Structure 1
Amino acid sequence: MTSEQDPEKNLASENLDEGEYEFIYGTEDGVYSQSETTHMGEEAEEATEDIFSHLGESSDDPEQKRRYMEYLSLIKEIECQNQMVDDIKAQIVELCAKPCKTKCELKDIKRLRVCMEQEIIKLRCLMTKAMELQNFGSRRRYHEIPLATTIDEDNMTPYAGTQQPQQTTWKGGESSETDRCASAEPKECKDEKALRCLCKALGKMKICCPEDKKLIQEIAGVLMGHKKKKSAPPCPQPCPPSLPPCRGPCPPFAKPSRKSKKPTQPCSSDSMPGADSLERLKQKITCMQSSVCQLKQEIYRREREKQQVCEPEEEKEDVCSEEPDPIQFCLSKRTTKADEMAKLRENYLHLLAEFSKKDCQLKEMEKRLKGFCGSCNHNNGQGEGQNTDQSELIVLRQRVADLKEEQTEFKCLMKEQSQQLEDYRNKYLVAQQKVEEQSVTLDKLNMNNKRIEKQINTEVKEIRAKFQEKLNELLHFPKLLENEQLKLAQACKEKEDLQGKLMLICKELKALKAQTESPKDETDCRPQLMKCQLELEQCKARLEEMERQRDLFCEKLKATQDDLDTLRSESAKIIARTKERAEAMKCQMQEQIDRLEKELAQCRATACLSVSDREAVIREMQGQLNTLSYSFDAAQKQIKTLRNHIAYVSNENCFPVKC
């Protein structure tokens, strides 16, 4: 994980700029400490084919492999978290570097510091989890993980502090002095940036030689001395006449510039050595930057070389990584395996025939040898030649006995191999039969699936036809409803007309009554009254008839609406039932398909195993047949040598007589 170097000597620390950041530096006594943080983001990583190699010959079980994959994803999360921390850090540094800050900017700094603390807590949680996975996960050679910040770096940098800038009291009439103090801020910011860069360099240096350590100690000492000289109060000298007297202290972040120091500090005798030390410091820093740039170029060049070397290997692995489907491989090579089995059988029969021939020849040679031995025993000649013949005969007998033993061994081996061949043949036939049965069952299942699909399609078509019939039956009801509504509207209009006429008749009737009641008019209005009463009765009858027709139409409308509602509810129920039935059928078919897929996978696995077993058996049989052919050739050679010996022994006249 993160690597921290042990302190070589006692630690000495100082707070710079009212606790904005802390830096550990070297003193005259040689006290120096270095809190190192690993920023490995700029360094070159290894090739991406196998990031972390195994320890020794260890291999991962599934749990360790899962932990290893979780560790890789955790590394990516840590990189993202580092990026977030760096972004927040850059924003805080940018806001803190401003000479004058508004209230909104101060609030933003507070908010960014809170976010920074939360992100650092998240980063530490991720790091603890990664350490746990390294310790209890896969056994590999893990590299260091780059971190954006650590505890020591947080204490050294200004963004980690929780203190706020001090609020200084300002008096009136100090505009010239504040402007003069604010003009010195860019120089102070440059010094702070140099210190921060030095802190980062200290954090990045993991292994450094003593010369580099001394150089960094000198740089830190010079910077700290320069900082102390700048932060020290000036001698009590009067201000120049051109400027007003300073009535209040300058703010802590605004320090006098170099131009303002020359006239106001005549008593400082160490100003020239400080400038010389700064010049030397700048030269050393430029030398270090040039060496760092050279190192980065060398690292980049080596990374490019590693990538160029690793790319062709990856292409080769990608080409060879694709494996053929075992089922297709088995189906494509079934005929070739059958041809090989037929050839092996033919070779086996041929070898058996040759072996039987050689066995007969060997028996004949044994008979001839026995006859020759009997004839040799009846010979009267004695001497050294006879002794040599007997010794040769003994050797030949021993060889014949050895050949018989080898013959029996070969017979046993051939019997065992024939039995094994028969067993493997039976196993192969059984496996082939199982594969054929499984293919037949798969065909049956496919046929059943097709038949069920056809049934479902026909049922859906029938349901659609029924719905269409119902809709066709209900199509004329909206038209009837519209016609009845039109009739009702006409009846309402007629009713309104009749009501208007009735009102007119009532008015006329009132007028007539008034005329009849008046004593002036003595005319007889009874016939008009009778006529008006008849018309009124007729209008009332027509009005009642129209109301009765309206009631009938309303009843018909209600009945048609009720029928329409019932048909809609029934159609919705039928649709819901069909949907439920289709869902149930779909679930059943899906379960059946899953079960068939599992069976198919099992069948494929068994077929692959049988194919691999068959190939192993064929290889073993081929090796045994090769050994048998080799031993058979050796036996033939030995038989030929025996024949030559027997022919040599049978020719007695060829032997010279020894004294």
Structure 2
Amino acid sequence: TMGDAEGGAEEQDYEEEDIATGGMDEGGLEEGQEDDLFSRLGESSDDPEQKRMYMEYLSLIKEIDCQNKIIQDIKAQVMDMCGKPCKTRNELREIKRLRICMEQENIKLHTMMNRAVQLQNFGSHRHYRELTMTTTVDDDNISPYCVGPCGAPLTGGGVGGSGGTADDCSEEAGGSSCCQVEGQEDRLIKALSKAMQKMKGACPEDMKMMQEIACAIMASKGSKPKQVCSPGPCNKSPCDESSSSICPPPPPARSSKRQRPCPPEPTCPPPPPCGPPSGPCGKSDSLDKLKKRIVSMQCSVKKLLNEVSRRESAQTCGAGGGDDDDDDDYGGGADISRPPCPEDPDPLVISGGKRNTKADKYEKMKENYTRLLTQYQRKDCQMKELEQRMKGFVGSGPSKGASDADAAELNLLRARVNELKEEQLEFKCIMKEQSQQLEDYRNKYMLAQQKVEEQCVSLEKLNMNNKRIEQQINTEVKEIRSKFQEKLNELLHFPKLLENEQLKLAQVCKEKDDLQSKLVVVCKELKSCKIQLENPVADLSPQLAQCQLDLSQARSEIEELLRQRDLFCEQLKTTQDDLDTLRTESAKIIAGTKERAEMIKAQQQDQINRLEKELAQCRATASLSVNDREAVIREMQGQLNTLSYSFDAAQKQIKTLRNHIAYVSNENCFPVKC
């Protein structure tokens, strides 16, 4: 497994690698830059295939870095949403979706890492660095049980590197109470290291406090009287006699075997490792974690006090002891002064907020306590070294011829030892006072913590009441809505009935108007009939004959008009048919003329194109002929020049020959003038 178990030095190397790859992209891929990134194993250069695989590896590490950033962003979103005290249904769905997305991105990252391993093994032979791989939320929840005291994994390693093995020495003393107590301490250290790995977003004060807690626990663990299963040589760092500075602690040696001590003295049991937040409220979980941290700090303080009392008793009875006991004590002091793991501490992100004055005072007192503890350890180291030197002088025994200088030095050393003992007593008093103040501040802090928990409980009760009231309101609103819906369903058919009645009313009104108009006509006829009945009837026979004659004439005229109409209809039909035929013929003629015009246009266009081509060819031939003519003219001019030059030369030769002939024929004659 790779990721958070990698060391800070490896992460720094990988950041340097990213910077170098970025510079390579900007400036171009050159051979010198490739050698700067990863040096070759041998002197031979890469073949083209290895070079191509190396370039693929460089691009792949960039993609891996981007993939790590994507997974970290998704994990931050998941942690933020999980940290909310109350989650809605949509938020739970969003958390589930983000987890699925994180798993998919993690699968992509594993595929890239496998490809990177393949390129490292079968690509260009170079000194590759280890690659980091970020972890998911589930890995973070499991990892407190899979890391060692300093955050290193129990098994496995990184890409391109070899991981160390952890063989427990519990095979020799398995099943004893020593293993159980040590297992509890290991779990405590594992949880603390995991907390330090997760505190990248916390404030510097929390990080510093976690470092001091880790230092105190490691010092208390290393200062106990141990019977190591497979002890190694004690790494001593002798202090300078003349200097009063702090002795540098020996570097922690990496051993392939884990040493388990024998059962320690009865102390406070360490708290179990803090698991992932499983409750709905993240604030109460953070408070519980803070309580556990305070309890662990109290246990470490008690361990340190027990160790101080043990050393006091050892110093009182150390006059008759041998050199081996002093060496063991010195080794224990070296273990006490050993700093915590050099990795970058990342404790769990505790709920933020402004620190109150009590917490600040508590931090200051704790810092003073740790500072006094380190000074006490330094003085203890110096005192033990001086005691060893004194025992060396006393063991060798003063010879009869001992010089006064040795006696003076011995007196000075004894005075120095007395001074250191006095300082030790002063530091003990100061440590007791600091521990009392620390206890007072712890009690105040616990009271404040209790108040905070009470407020949290009251807030939870208020939230529950609000939820209950909200549910009641929602149920009442649903009931009212259902009642309104029932009323609406009951009144839904009334608009249709109203429309039907309105239509019937409109129809009845229309019939009423028709009947009123008919009634008016009937009334008028009734009045006319009454008038006719009142007036005497005249002789209407001539009027009737005249009307009949007019009617016969009108009928004959109507028949004539109908006959003319039929004639006109026939003519209209014939003219319509002629018009249709003319339209079809004209359309055919127009289509034919259009086709001919298109054909003529195409022919003319082809002819124009052909003429343009011929014109271009003629222009080209004309330009070529002009060029040829100029070339011929130049050539002929050159030939004429050569001919004229040859002619002049021939004339000169003829002249010389004539002169020669004349000279030969008559030596006394002068040359002929031309």
| TM-score (normalised: structure 2) | 0.29
| TM-score (normalised: structure 1) | 0.29
